[in-house]
Amino acid sequence: MTRHARPQWLAGAAGIAALGLTLTACGGAKIGDDSSASSGSSGKCGTFNLAVNPWVGYEADAAVVAYVAEKKLGCTVNKKDLKEQVAWQGFSTGQVDAVLENWGHPELVKKYITQQKVAESAGQTGNKGVIGWYVPPWLAKAYPDITNYKNLNKYAAKFKTSESGGKGQLLDGDPSYVTNDEALVKNLGLDFKVVYAGSETALIQAYRQAEKNKQWVIGYFYEPQWFLAEVPLVKVDLPAYKTGCDAVASKVACDYPVYDLDKIVSTKFAKSGSTAYNLVKNFSWTNDDQNTVAKYIAVDKLSDEAAAKKWVDANPDKVAAWIK
């Protein structure tokens, strides 16, 4: 996700200089610019504004949905590269029709679905989202007890870096994946400091090098993710998740829940009659499906369109069920 947490968000994060924020799109659309607003009408597709959040698994979702919308339904698709929280802001303006991979976000659900009623769930994606702390396989094999959080302080000095201030480094990814990790470190009494790699790509590269060069790395990661087929990271056992244990962000002392990822759409889009809405509603695939397309993009270096075409051509029955 991511994020993955994608689960929890920093309350003030540039939080959103709400109406002042710009939505960057293929066509340069902005919040408040009606030129890319939905124009779906009964039985037709029209313009389909699709948010693309910053991790390759989501990019895989968007690549396939956009390809099917354009090639099978004749839609005009505007793909918009947006952080999660910013994407939800577009539901009220018509600048975003759909978010394809929602990782919970109860605060966004409350604001945009429950209170403002400008968005609604369009059902599950079929993907199961898992977030947690991971170590490279060599490390788990050499030090088996390291996969229990209770033993992490014993090894904290091994994880020190120039950025971790004398403590062990817990590596996170894109800063927009606001996580529970700082609270976990504090509340579990761990001698670690959260340091951000800066992006999903940088996080993956850190794990790849750690496995290759036998380096000490522990950090945030998630499934579904194509990289786990290349380097099978090992998850660290944190205190078991129980309903409500993450209700207060500053007091979190438990693992992340397993997420049944769902799709969020604007209520206007849901009522538009656009065939793109039916596509989004019916869209469902597995973690393996997503990982396959993500690998085409991230490893094989196919364009989004080429990656989508390759998967769509190999899975005609699944695609037919989405557009029936």
β-pairing, 218-223 vs 259-266, is: unpaired
CB 156 within 8 A of CB 192: yes
Average pLDDT of span 222-244: 94
Question: Across the strands, what pairs with 131?
Answer: 222
For the chain, how many structural domains are there in total?
2
89 and 145 share one domain: no
Burial of 165: CB neighbours in 10 Å, binned 0-12, 13-18, 19+: exposed
Q: What is the pLDDT of residues 78-134, one digit of tens each?
A: 999 999 889 999 999 999 999 999 988 888 999 999 999 999 999 999 998 899 999
135 and 122 share one domain: no
Average pLDDT, the chain: 88
Q: What is the pLDDT of residues 200-231, one digit of tens each?
A: 999 999 999 999 999 999 999 998 899 998 99
272 and 244 share one domain: no
Which residue range(s) make up the domain with 193?
130-251
Q: State both tokens at 7.
A: 């689960």
- Say if 318 falls within a structural domain: yes
- Say if 1 falls within a structural domain: no
304 and 193 share one domain: no
pTM, two decimal places: 0.74
Single-letter amino acid, residue 257: P
Percent of the chain whose pLDDT exceeds 90: 77
210 and 317 share one domain: no
β-pairing, 234-235 vs 119-135, is: antiparallel
Helix residue ranges per DSSP H, 20-77: 56-73
Percent of the chain whose pLDDT exceeds 70: 86
Q: What is the pLDDT of residues 2-43, one digit of tens each?
A: 344 443 333 333 333 332 333 333 333 333 444 444 444 345
User: What does the DSSP assignment read for 291-322?
Assistant: HHHHHHHHTS---HHHHHHHHHHH-HHHHHHH
Average pLDDT of span 148-166: 97
Q: What is the pLDDT of residues 247-257, one digit of tens each?
A: 999 999 999 99
Of the residues 220, 251, 282, the one at which a domain ends = 251
Instruction: Write the CATH number for 226.
Output: 3.40.190.100
CA angle 289, 290, 295 (to 5 degrees): 105
- Say if 271 falls within a structural domain: yes
d(CA 46, CA 44): 6
The per-residue pLDDT for 58 is: 95
